[in-house]
Amino acid sequence: MTTPYTTAPDIALVLAAGLGTRMHSATVKVLHEVAGKPLIAWAVDAAIDAGARRVVAVLGHQRERVDEFLASRYGGKATVEVAVQAEPRGTGDAVRAALPAMTGEPDEAVVAILYGDAPLVTEGLLASLCAACQRSPAGMAVTATEPPHPVAYGRLVRDSRGRLARIVEHVDATDDERAIAEVNAGIYAIRLGRLREDLRHLSADNAQGEIYLTDLAARAAARGGAEVVRAPWEEVMGINDRVDLAAVARCARRRINEAWMIAGVTMEAPEATYIDADCGPLGADVWLGPGVCLRGQTRIGDGARIDAGCVLTDVVVEAGATIKPSSVLSEATIGTAAQVGPFSHCRPGTVIDERARIGNFVETKKSHIMAGAKANHLAYLGDASVGAGANIGAGTITCNYDGVKKHRTVIESGAFIGSDSQLIAPVTVGRDAYVGSGTTVTRDVPRSSLALSRAKQVNIDGWADRFRDAQNRRQSRQSDPDGK
């Protein structure tokens, strides 16, 4: 049951059934991403963070795809449910579509209404709205904002005593009304009983022929007026097109970066550092160079250093590790005090243990590089296991693919692979063994032995001088064909 002073919404509705035509996209608007997180998840997460007991997403256009996304992200959490609005007949109609989901909920329940395309909403704003809703004699609170530039939003029309009289949509407004700076952000809190009653009276008698949720404001005015909660534009701006998407993304990234800096992360160029919403934790004294992109669910341990231009997607970097500039890592784990880069490529399934080193132009995939092992230059390690302390020389390649299947290479601890070697998998190089430079390893190398496959070297005395003389003689015959 709702207590009189709770600031958590009982139920949050996330409206996401609109067509989003101005995105000009094959993908439904609410699945476009800001900081790596689909728009609808921003609204759902804000509602959950605000303490909503239930979240009902109202879906329409491409509802199967959105539903699938919600199930994958929130599956198992009974909190997130779906209601369907078959045709987008307006925001009021969208809320009506959610009523059946709320059957059985008490009239005094506080319902927060959010948009799936306004991702910057905070739990703080939702808390203020819920508190205002409970103060309001009309059982309703509306969010007002003042955009820096005029936008086609609904205007808040106040009466002579300054109370909210009604909301007029831009297309229905007179010139005088359009001059009102205070606009409707589209985020509300309302008692369920009021909602049930007022939704029955909405009509589509307006310029767009839509059922406007905003008409609830005029009905609330007749009961003493809805409360108005003011919010900064940066918290409520919605996305209608890709210009808005970029503007919202900038705000989201600034907010994410500031939170990490406050938590102890140094960013040399915060305005050029891109951290996805689901990344973290990032430890104390993490240092991020300019142009670093941390994507997916990347985590970074205390004191790790990620230098300029690195792109890490779903990577775990342990404490004290260093990723040197321009390295690209995906689904990899980098151990304590390990070093990677510059210009390394660690592909999915790479596990680099403590103090190991992966140097420039080294590519790894599904490979485990154990403690203290080194591959410092120009190597490909795919489907490989490299034992502790092993050394992989420049130009070493694990030939893991025979054109049909992938095979594993095992290099045991302490082994030394000479430069420019090829290891034709499946193959094992035993513990402490040596592979001579330029060797093509086709058979297992026993422990502590030397493998050599290159041809024996031959030195021919005076050969180079004779070769040059012959060249010179040929050249002079060609320039003087008569031999004069």
15 makes contact with ligand UD1 (CB under 6 A): yes
Rg of the chain taking only CA atoms, in angstroms:
32
Closest to Mg ion by CB, 137 vs 209, is: 209
The binding track of 50-89 with respect to ligand UD1, each residue x by CB under 6 A or -, is --------x--------------------------x--xx
Closest to ligand UD1 by CB, 185 vs 375, is: 185
The binding track of 212-251 with respect to Mg ion, each residue x by CB under 5 A or -, is --------------------------x-------------
Joined tokens for residue 424: 């034709």
Contacting residues for 240 by C-beta, under 8 A, at least 6 apart: 20, 22, 23, 117
Measured CA to CA, the distance from residue 378 to residue 394 in angstroms comes to 5
Closest Cα partner for 306 from 444, 61, 283?
A: 283
Closest to Mg ion by CB, 116 vs 238, is: 238
Q: Look at residue 153 and give the partner it binds from ligand UD1, Mg ion, none, a contact being a CB closer than 5 to 8 Å depending on partner kind.
A: ligand UD1
Task: Please choose, out of 91-99, 276-284, 331-339, 459-467, the segment that lies near ligand UD1 by the rule CB under 6 A.
Answer: 91-99
157 makes contact with ligand UD1 (CB under 6 A): no
Task: Please choose, out of 2-10, 112-120, 321-329, 387-395, the segment that lies near ligand UD1 by the rule CB under 6 A.
Answer: 112-120
Task: Give Cα separations from 325 to 285, 289, 387, 451 (angstroms).
Answer: 18, 8, 26, 35
Task: Give Cα separations from 43 to 32, 117, 118, 302 (angstroms).
Answer: 13, 8, 7, 31
Q: Look at residue 136 and give the partner it binds from ligand UD1, Mg ion, none, a contact being a CB closer than 5 to 8 Å depending on partner kind.
A: none
Measured CA to CA, the distance from residue 347 to residue 350 in angstroms comes to 6
Among 62, 134, 136, 184, binds ligand UD1 (CB under 6 A): 184
CB of 405 to ligand UD1, least distance (A): 48
Contacting residues for 270 by C-beta, under 8 A, at least 6 apart: 254, 257, 258, 261
Is 201 one of the annotated active-site residues of the chain? Answer: no
Instruction: Count the Cβ atoms, other than its own, within 10 Å of residue 107.
Output: 13
Instruction: Count the Cβ atoms, other than its own, within 10 Å of residue 330.
Output: 19
CB of 417 to ligand UD1, least distance (A): 57
17 makes contact with ligand UD1 (CB under 6 A): yes
Instruction: Count the Cβ atoms, other than its own, within 10 Å of residue 102.
Output: 20
Residues that bind ligand UD1 (CB under 6 A): 15-18, 58, 85, 88-91, 93-94, 115-117, 153-154, 167, 169, 183-186, 212-214, 238
Where in the sequence numbering do the catalytic residues fall?
377
